[in-house]
Amino acid sequence: MLLAVGARIVAAGRGRVGVAAFREWWFVSTHPRRYAYIDALRGLAILGVMATHLIGLFPGMPGWSRKLAGLGAHGVDLFFVASAVTLMLSWHARRGTDRSLAFSFYVRRLFRIAPMFWLALVTYSALHPLWPQFWQSGLFTVRSQWLTATFLHGWSPDSINSVVPGGWTIAAEMSFYAAFPILALVISSASRAVALVICSMMVAAAANAWAAVAWSGTAHAELGSFLLWWLPNNLPAFAIGILAYQLLPYARQGRWVLPLWGTCAALISYLVVAGKLPWASSWTHPVSRGTAMAACAMGLVLCLSANPTRLLVNPTMRHIGKVSYSAYLIHFLVVEAFRQVFGPSELSGLPAVLVYGLSLLLVAGITVAVSTITQRVIERRGVRWGEALISSMHKPLLSRPLH
């Protein structure tokens, strides 16, 4: 194939046309580079999520340690910010080299997300009779299963998290993907990204107010979880990720590193000590905890892009980040198995904290080990299938006559 392409470039007879043809062929199939600090941040995010979900097995832990471990729940906000940054980097790396960029984007996202998610759907559906309400909330019905399989469960209060534990995050991601190509084209500067963040906060407050009325008959706890989990409430986190992408050139000049680290540390300390911010956005409190932590996540992205410290950006954290999608879907099963075997701990005080730390290492180790296998066998295969489909779409480029 390389000889054929080379022959056509030479046969073109014009240097500029030949080079353009080569670039068109070459860049259609290349992959944007991976960024070590993004992988590391994903690793930090999934470790935080696991830390949070393990707290329930250690009710005797001191309050300060429970608050600190509970911040791991905002690993999801870090995921959303890192996802938006990665999508923007990938989009602009491929822009101008793919004539059907939006369609290729949807194909890549589907084949990247669906195979592992559908496997999780089948697995947790099979386990439901054995472990009912296994980290899920809502109605486990044929309707909720179909909505989950088609990634529409994020728009139904009784289905958003009823089949796959933590599946609400996948629903938010997939719904965001639907609008991403338009956002990537329109948000072309930092000022527009700031406007997007402000607009997304207004959308979150308005959507939550509307949903509270539209689903007023829903149980209060279920509705509260839905308002926290659905896309509108998490839209500011994605918008902040897009803003982080626009600020990357400035952060890499190295001027913001120390102030950003200080700001992130101060905000996290405030949330640990006070924790006054609401979980869901509203007109009276448009800045939710998730939005505040997404701002911290943006600070981490900018700091590590300028100065990737080995404390966070190292081979171990990078590997955990690379398998973090599988790990997210699998760790619920590992934590539940841990609970079934050992049950809730009766320890309290410092011993409870120490055993909790050892348990977290065990759960994380098992999860990462299993996820390494599923990432290679399922995720990578899905990505290859998507790339093969996209490549087949672009094959006419090689046979099209040059003029």
> What does the alpha-carbon distance between residue 288 and residue 283 come to, in Å, rounded to a whole number?
11
What CA–CA distance (Å, rounded) separates 237 from 280? 12
Q: What is the pLDDT of residues 166-206, one digit of tens each?
A: 999 999 999 999 999 999 999 999 999 999 999 999 999 99
- Gap between the Cα atoms of 25 and 377, Å rounded: 29
- What is the chain's Cα-based Rg? 23
Residue 286 has phi, psi (to 5 degrees) of -70, -25
Half-sphere exposure of 192 (CA within 13 A, CB side): 10
Q: How far apart are CA 236 and CA 259, in angstroms?
A: 22
Per-residue pLDDT tens digits for 342-394: 888 888 889 999 999 999 999 999 999 999 999 999 999 999 999 999 888 76
- Per-residue pLDDT tens for 90-114? 999 888 665 678 889 999 999 999 9
Question: Which one, of 129, 145, 167, lies nearest residue 332 by Cα?
Answer: 167
Counts of helices then strands in the chain (DSSP H, E): 18, 0
CA distance 244 to 31: 22
Q: How far apart are CA 172 and CA 188, in angstroms?
A: 23
Joined together, the tokens standing for residue 248 give: 């990357």
Is pLDDT at 236 greater than 90 in this prediction?
Answer: yes
